[in-house]
Amino acid sequence: HGKGLLFGIYTDRGNATCAGRPGSRGFEGLDAATYASWGVDYLKEDSCWADSGHQDVAFADYARMRDALNATGRPIYFSLCGWYPWYSSVGNTLGNSWRIWGDVNGWGSVYTAAQVNAKLFPNAGPGGWNDPDMLVGSSPHAAVYNSPEQSRTQFSLWVAMSAPLLIGSNVLNMSTWDLETYTNAEMIAVNQDALGKQAAIVHDTCPKLKLSSIKPRHSVDFNPKRPSDELDADVPECEQVWAKPMSDGSVVLVLVNWNGSARNVTCASSCLRSAGIDASHVLAYDLWEHRKLGVFSSVVAQLGANGASASIRVKAASSSAASSSLSQQPAFR
pLDDT in tens, 227-266: 344 444 589 999 999 999 999 999 999 999 999 999 999 9
CA distance 74 to 70: 7
Paired strand residues for 286: 291, 312
Interval 81-85 mean pLDDT: 94
CA distance 332 to 314: 13
pLDDT exceeds cutoff 70 at 77:
yes
Confidence of residue 329 (pLDDT cuts 50, 70, 90): low
Active site residue 103: yes
CA distance 163 to 30: 30
Between strands 299-303 and 263-267, the pairing is antiparallel
pLDDT for res 147: 95
Confidence of residue 308 (pLDDT cuts 50, 70, 90): very high
- Predicted structure pTM score: 0.92
Q: CA distances (Å), 232 to each of 32, 84, 118, 285, 302, in order?
A: 40, 22, 20, 31, 22
Active site residue 131: no
pLDDT exceeds cutoff 70 at 16:
yes
Confidence of residue 211 (pLDDT cuts 50, 70, 90): confident
Annotated catalytic residue, options 12, 61, 103, 193: 103
Cα Rg for the chain, rounded, in angstroms? 21
Annotated catalytic residue, options 46, 61, 131, 178: 46
pLDDT digits (tens, 9 = 90+) for 176-187: 999 999 999 999
Across the chain, what does the average pLDDT equal? 91
pLDDT for res 225: 39
Confidence of residue 210 (pLDDT cuts 50, 70, 90): confident
Confidence of residue 212 (pLDDT cuts 50, 70, 90): confident
Lowest mean pLDDT among 122-131, 219-228, 270-279: 219-228
Lowest mean pLDDT among 10-19, 133-142, 175-184, 295-304: 133-142
Interval 4-17 mean pLDDT: 96
